């Protein structure tokens, strides 16, 4: 028998597992847990390295109506797909919340103004940036994280010559 030593990156805590209530691959861990709110069961999907699960949902009861249905390969792959989709949607929502954009002007005079919020825990701020049609930066200013970007404010900033202080 040819045994290989486990490297620190592939230690027992991250080795693949395929048990009735616990499945793990190189990225995800699915764990069937007792639902604290009722008599049923739930399944949690946790991405490797994360403290909190990305997804927690109800899990099917087994035939005896007391114990959970065992995890299997098709169920695990469906859970991975669903958890990945949850993460993707979360990232899209976060991106949309932190990035706003308006266009001002017409034709070749169109200017794209973006607002990118930097969610620093102590001193959050945002960066206002204007670019022409070719992507050339025309102006940039640091503004408050709660700055509300709209066409009127973007137009006023452009009219001011891209003033460093924007209201």
Specify whether 77 is located in the same domain as 40: yes
Would 90 be classed as within a structural domain?
A: yes
- Does the pTM of the predicted model rise above 0.85? no
> What is the pLDDT confidence band of residue 66, given thresholds at 50, 70 and 90?
confident
Specify whether 39 is located in the same domain as 109: no
**Mean pLDDT for all residues in the chain:** 89
Would 89 be classed as within a structural domain?
A: yes
Structural domain of residue 14, as residue ranges? 8-97
pLDDT the model gives residue 88: 96
Specify whether 93 is located in the same domain as 27: yes
Strand partners, 68: 61
- Report the domain count for the chain: 2
Give the residue-averaged pLDDT of 76-96: 95
Specify whether 83 is located in the same domain as 112: no
Would 68 be classed as within a structural domain?
A: yes
Give the C-alpha distances (Å, rounded to integers) separating 57 from 1, 11, 45, 65, 89: 41, 28, 9, 18, 17
- Which of 80, 97, 114 corresponds to the end of one domain? 97
Would 73 be classed as within a structural domain?
A: yes
**pLDDT of residue 10 exceeding 70:** no
- Give the integer Cα–Cα distance in Å for 37 and 59: 13
**pLDDT of residue 118 exceeding 80:** yes
Residue range 32-41, pLDDT digits in tens: 999 877 778 9
Specify whether 83 is located in the same domain as 125: no
Specify whether 88 is located in the same domain as 21: yes
Specify whether 113 is located in the same domain as 150: yes
- Which of 67, 97, 127 corresponds to the end of one domain? 97
pLDDT the model gives residue 62: 87
Would 3 be classed as within a structural domain?
A: no
**pLDDT of residue 11 exceeding 70:** no
> What is the pLDDT confidence band of residue 4, given thresholds at 50, 70 and 90?
very low
Specify whether 76 is located in the same domain as 130: no
Would 82 be classed as within a structural domain?
A: yes
Would 147 be classed as within a structural domain?
A: yes
3 or 159: which carries more pLDDT confidence?
159
- Which of 53, 69, 97 corresponds to the end of one domain? 97
Would 166 be classed as within a structural domain?
A: no
Give the residue-averaged pLDDT of 66-71: 92
pLDDT the model gives residue 50: 94
Q: What are phi and psi of 109, to 5 degrees?
A: -95, 10
**pLDDT of residue 3 exceeding 70:** no
Give the C-alpha distances (Å, rounded to integers) separating 143 from 18, 55, 126: 51, 35, 5
Percent of the chain topping pLDDT 70: 90
| Per-residue tokens: 79 | 């859970």
**pLDDT of residue 147 exceeding 60:** yes
pLDDT the model gives residue 167: 74
Specify whether 74 is located in the same domain as 131: no
């Amino acid at each position: 028998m040819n045994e290989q030593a486990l490297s620190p990156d592939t230690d027992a805590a991250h080795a693949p597992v395929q048990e009735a209530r616990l499945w793990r691959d190189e990225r995800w861990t699915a764990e069937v847990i007792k639902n604290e709110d009722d008599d049923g069961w739930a399944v949690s999907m946790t991405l490797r390295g994360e403290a909190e699960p990305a997804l927690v949902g109800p899990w099917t009861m087994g035939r005896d109506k007391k114990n959970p249905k065992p995890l299997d390969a098709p169920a695990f792959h469906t859970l991975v797909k669903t958890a990945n989709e949850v993460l993707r949607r979360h990232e899209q929502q976060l991106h949309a919340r932190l990035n706003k954009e308006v266009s001002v002007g017409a034709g070749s005079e169109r200017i794209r103004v973006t607002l990118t919020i930097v969610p620093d825990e102590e001193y959050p701020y945002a960066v206002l940036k204007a670019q022409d049609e070719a992507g050339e930066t025309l102006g940039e200013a640091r503004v408050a994280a709660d700055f509300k970007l709209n066409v009127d404010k973007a137009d006023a900033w452009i009219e001011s010559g891209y003033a460093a202080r924007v209201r």
